[in-house]
Amino acid sequence: MKIKIDKFILAIISVIVIAYFIPQWGSKTSPIPLDIIGSIGIALIFFFYGLKLSPEKLKNGLKNWKLHIVVQLSTFFVFPLLVLLFYPFINTEQGQTLWLSLFFLAALPSTVSSSVVMVSMARGNIPAAIFNASISGLIGIVITPLWMGLFLTQENTDFSLGVIYIKLFTEILIPVVMGFVLQKFLGKYAIKYQKQLATFDKSIILLIIYRSFSESFEDNVFSSLQVKDLLIIALAVILLFYFMYYLTGYLAKKLNFNQEDSITAQFCGTKKSLVHGTIFSKILFPATYPVGLILLPLMLFHALQIFIISIIASKLARRIDK
């Protein structure tokens, strides 16, 4: 079977390489206002996200409540609790930073685009996938900062949930609400130009990743990161993914889900959003924090989930078609 390499993953790798060799464009002293551009880009991403939220689809999606509970509990509670179990065993500063990066990954919402695409490919419940992925992004605006606040307040005395929620309110929630209100008038254009909007979203994410890694490379954040640490992160990400994949499958079986709902539960309940993660990292973490290091497990998980789920989706599709 021929495996396609996701172009966005290649773009992320390219941006990190550019950040390594040319970090000055994304540094704090750069004449290019990447921070302001990123903030405006974030607001536009979520405005377009609001335009694509159909009130009718959201209303209809509420009917399959058991499936939604499994997906949302997996995303926002089981994932973080799994990583939280290992917190007592972390006793070094480097270990705490790596653990926090994994916890940040675990506290994030599900992703919309790849969830829907993979569920569609595997012949799963597409409307339920759209509903869960869309709702997950909105729930994450509230839940993710609460989870992260438990630990960031200990490490950074300037961390304030009030300030964080004001940023989330102005940069994310207001644009989403504006887009949702205007969905009736402009929603058709968001659907018509969804490919162009997806390209815009990815461009802003790449810009934020470039800036984060530029600052990390300039501050020599990765100099203390050993090969052993990378292997531990990679192993933790793989184990986390497979545990959640089989757990959601087990819950779906116990709750007597049909095949379409089981596929949706497993695919949506194991996803984590690189878009939200990149954006939240910009808002939640202070300027002095090694954001590049924080994003590392998320990017590995993003690549892993696309790679593994695409293989599983292809096999399921062939089996169902036969």
C-alpha span between 318 and 221 (Å, rounded): 45
Instruction: Look up tokens 């750069």; give the residue.
Output: 30
Confidence class of residue 226 from pLDDT cuts 50, 70 and 90? confident
Residue 92 has pLDDT above 90, yes or no: no
- Residues near 294 by Cβ (< 8 Å), separated by ≥ 6? 97, 100, 101, 104, 281, 285
Q: Tell me, what's the pLDDT at 4?
A: 61
Domains of the chain: 31-321 (1.20.1530.20)
| Both tokens assigned to 158 | 């300037």
Residue 1 has pLDDT above 70, yes or no: no
Q: Tell me, what's the pLDDT at 257?
A: 94
pLDDT digits 0-9 by tens, 2-48: 556 678 888 998 999 999 999 888 877 788 888 889 889 988 988 99
Higher pLDDT, residue 167 or 68: 68
Residue 60 has pLDDT above 90, yes or no: no
pLDDT digits 0-9 by tens, 77-87: 999 999 999 99
- Residues near 241 by Cβ (< 8 Å), separated by ≥ 6? 270, 301, 304, 305, 308
C-alpha span between 106 and 186 (Å, rounded): 34
| % of the chain with per-residue pLDDT over 90 | 37
pLDDT digits 0-9 by tens, 134-183: 789 889 989 999 999 888 876 655 667 788 888 888 888 899 899 989 99
